[in-house]
Amino acid sequence: MKETSKSAMRRARDPSFQQHYFAGKGIDIGAGDDPLNAHAHAFPRVTEIVSWDKAQGDALRMAGAPDASFDFVHSSHCLEHLTNPFQGLARWLELLKPGGYAILTVPDEDLYEKGKWPSPFNREHKVSFTICKPEKTLPGSVNVLDLVRAFAPVASCERVTLVRENYDERRANVDQTARGLAECAIEIVL
């Protein structure tokens, strides 16, 4: 699926990512086989990216990761694998230096999961995400705006975006992320 690679191509054209969000030392939580450091050349203000995946430890607790030591936290399609995304995000925010950025991407439950639960394309998903719906239609649905609001006392929201890059509405019943360049995600910057 290479979700980090897809988003890096898009973000490399965005001055906010170039000049602000990806600057200094960062940690890539859930890096897997598509780490952000493979794309560091596209973000000239990055000095170092530490990859964190299962071999380094649990993404919920981040045991051993030092608090207040990163300029940015990046996570692409990891938060939906945590049983408690609120607890996970709280821990990830502790890793940031004052003024740092959390850049998160999660699959959109309508574009990716197709409004079905459990996810028809990834049975390892513990929760699904929507930007905001008045009524949750899926059992593990998390409204991103509720998530952002919960952390408002410690992190301001810079961006919440539904990303449909290269998404074809006519092919709505297939996993368009598996092959090709389609993104079916919500991007959050705190």
pTM reported for the whole predicted model: 0.94
Encode pLDDT of 28-38 as tens digits.
Answer: 999 999 999 99
* CATH classification for the domain delimited by 3-189, as one of 3.40.50.1110, 3.30.70.3000, 3.40.50.150, 3.40.1440.10: 3.40.50.150
- Mean pLDDT computed over every residue of the chain: 93
Burial of 78 (0-12, 13-18, 19+ CB in 10 A): buried
Q: How far apart are CA 140 and CA 160, in angstroms?
A: 20
* pLDDT tens sequence across 39-78: 999 999 999 999 999 999 999 999 999 999 999 999 999 9
Distance separating alpha carbons of residues 17 and 20, to the nearest angstrom:
6
DSSP state of 108: B
Q: Would you kindly state where each structural domain of the chain is located, as residue ranges?
A: 3-189
Query: Do residues 91 and 58 touch, judged by C-beta distance below 8 A?
Result: no
Is the pLDDT at 173 greater than 80? The verdict is no
pLDDT for 93 beyond 70: yes
**105-117: per-residue pLDDT in tens?**
999 998 888 888 8
pLDDT mean over 104-133:
91
User: What pLDDT is recorded for position 78?
Assistant: 97
Say what the pLDDT of residue 1 is. Answer: 67
Q: What is residue 168's predicted lDDT score, i.e. its pLDDT?
A: 82
Task: Name residues whose C-beta falls within 8 Å of residue 59's C-beta, 6 or more positions apart in sequence.
Answer: 29, 30, 52, 75, 78, 81, 82, 88
- Of 88, 83, 76, 91, give the one whose Cα is nearest residue 30: 76
